[in-house]
């Protein structure tokens, strides 16, 4: 057992939770796409990464205002999501493996494309909100706090959208049963397109925020994808609320276990936790009964 000061621990927890929220955006988008299209969108991490690189290109190289750049990036990535769904996933609908392989191909293509185009060296975006503020007795970068705030706000917006708007309700129905959205007068094709657009927008936002807080590199998408998947399996598969819970759990693991027990334990902990949860409840914490 190591002597960890309370301050360091608290700092670490807050940091873990803040970064965790950005990964929650990844998880929510991925989970939404998975529930509606039944496709594991492996290129989702690259959408996140491209979201960051577009903001880098616009704000650092072209000098556009950071927040404007985010809006443009998110819009572009939502369009990319629509294109991917229309031309790569929709024609293959029905089977399990082919869309997954296409997504893998896209992932390899996009990741290596950016590597060739921008190089593997990390890039950085100047902080959009310099300085630190005090939260819960510990100092945290303003940009990190803002990023967490934006992520939480987006998550809340997503939940509101799903509960209140017509399209949102259709999405909720479609996630339980493929054709259910037809009852609302909306076909499954449009549901898939909507899920991809919303999911990709969330991913791009996450990527842009992460790129601004830390650094960008062509491999950041893979890291984020894994984190997103861990969150999904921690919180229960098929549940968006579970995604939030999973993100909090992962944030805490990265904050507490990493600092106290080291990186090996922090890597193994999520997996062990998932295995234990699944033994007790095969659907995961908040998952649906199959």
Partner 1 sequence: MSSKKQAIDRYSVISFIICLFIAPLFLRNNYWLHVLGITGINIILVSSLHTIRSTGEISMGTGGFMALGAYTSALLAMKVGLCFWLTMLLAGILCAAVAVILGYPFMRTKGIYFSILTLVTGEVFRLIAWYYRSLTGGSVGLSGIPGPNPITIPGITTIMFDTKVDYYYLILVIALLSLLILFRLQTSQVGFVWSTIRETDHLAASVGINVLQYKIFAFGIGSFFTGIAGALFAHFMHLLAADATGKFGMTTSIYILIYMVFGGEGKFMGPVIGAFILTILPETFRAMKEYQPVIFGALVILIVFFIPQGIIALPDRILLWRRRKKTS
Interface segment toward partner 1; rule CB under 8 A; list 15-23, 60-68, 163-171, 230-238: 230-238
Nearer to partner 1, 91 or 126 (CB): 91
How many residues contact partner 1, by CB under 8 A? Answer: 49
Shortest distance, position 164 Cβ to partner 1, whole Å: 29
- Cβ proximity to partner 1, 106 vs 204, nearer residue: 106
Nearest CA to 15 among 250, 194, 268, 205? 250
18 in Cβ contact with 142 (< 8 Å): no
What is the Cα–Cα distance from 237 to 155, expressed in whole angstroms? 17
Helical pair 188-213 and 6-37, crossing angle rounded to 10 deg:
160
CA distance 199 to 30: 6
Least distance to partner 1 from the beta carbon of 264, Å? 5
**Binding segment (CB under 8 A) for partner 1, from list 19-27, 184-192, 246-254, 271-279:** 271-279
- Give least dist CB 205 to partner 1, A: 23
Give the list of residues 6+ apart from residue 289 with CB closer than 8 angstroms, or none.
Answer: 283
Contact by Cβ (8 Å): 43, 285: no
Q: Could you tell me which stretch among 8-16, 59-67, 239-247, 263-271 binds partner 1 (CB under 8 A)?
A: 263-271
As given in the structure block, the two tokens for residue 84 are: 């991917």
Nearer to partner 1 by C-beta: 184 or 222?
A: 222
Within its chain, how far is the Cα of 41 from the centroid?
12
Find all residues with CB under 8 Å of 255, minimum gap 6, and list them.
9, 12, 13, 14, 15, 16, 17
**Please, are residues 6 and 70 in contact by the beta-carbon 8 Å criterion?**
no
Residue 136 makes contact with partner 1 by CB under 8 A: no
Is residue 283 close enough to count as binding partner 1 by CB under 8 A? Answer: yes
Interatomic CA distance for residues 283 and 290, integer angstroms: 7
Q: Which residue of 49, 208, 233, 257 would you call a contact of partner 1, by CB under 8 A?
A: 233
Window 12-51: contact mask with partner 1 (x via CB under 8 A) = ----------------------x---x-x-x---------
Q: Do 246 and 233 form a contact (C-beta atoms < 8 A)? A: yes
Asked if 183 touches partner 1 (CB under 8 A), the answer is: no
Q: For binding to partner 1 (CB under 8 A), which residues are involved?
A: 34, 38, 40, 42, 88, 91-92, 96-98, 100-102, 104-113, 115-116, 219, 222, 226, 229-230, 232-233, 237, 262-264, 267-268, 270-271, 274-276, 278-279, 282-284, 290
């Amino acid at each position: 057992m190591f002597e960890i000061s309370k301050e360091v621990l608290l700092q670490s927890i807050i940091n873990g939770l803040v970064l965790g929220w950005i990964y929650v955006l990844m998880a929510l988008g991925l989970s939404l796409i998975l529930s509606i299209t039944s496709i594991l969108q492996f290129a989702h991490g690259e959408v996140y990464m491209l979201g960051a690189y577009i903001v880098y290109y616009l704000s650092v190289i072209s000098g556009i205002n950071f927040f404007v750049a985010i809006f443009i990036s998110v819009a572009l990535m939502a369009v990319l999501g629509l294109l991917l769904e229309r031309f790569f996933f929709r024609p293959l609908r029905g089977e399990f493996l082919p869309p997954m392989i296409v997504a893998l191909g896209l992932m390899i293509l996009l990741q290596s494309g950016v590597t060739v185009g921008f190089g593997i060296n990390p890039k950085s975006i100047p902080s959009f909100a310099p300085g630190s503020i005090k939260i819960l007795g510990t100092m945290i970068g303003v940009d990190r706090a803002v990023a967490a705030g934006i992520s939480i706000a987006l998550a809340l917006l997503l939940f509101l959208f799903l509960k209140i708007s017509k399209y949102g309700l259709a999405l909720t129905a479609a996630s339980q049963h493929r054709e259910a959205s037809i009852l609302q007068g909306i076909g499954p094709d449009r549901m898939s397109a909507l899920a991809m657009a919303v999911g990709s927008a969330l991913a791009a936002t996450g990527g842009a925020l992460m790129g601004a807080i830390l650094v960008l590199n062509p491999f950041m998408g893979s890291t984020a994808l894994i984190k997103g998947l861990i969150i999904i399996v921690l919180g229960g598969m098929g549940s968006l609320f579970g995604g939030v819970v999973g993100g909090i759990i992962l944030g805490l693991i990265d904050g507490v276990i990493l600092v106290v027990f080291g990186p090996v334990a922090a890597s193994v902990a999520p997996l062990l936790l998932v295995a234990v949860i699944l033994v007790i409840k095969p659907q995961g914490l908040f998952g649906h009964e199959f």
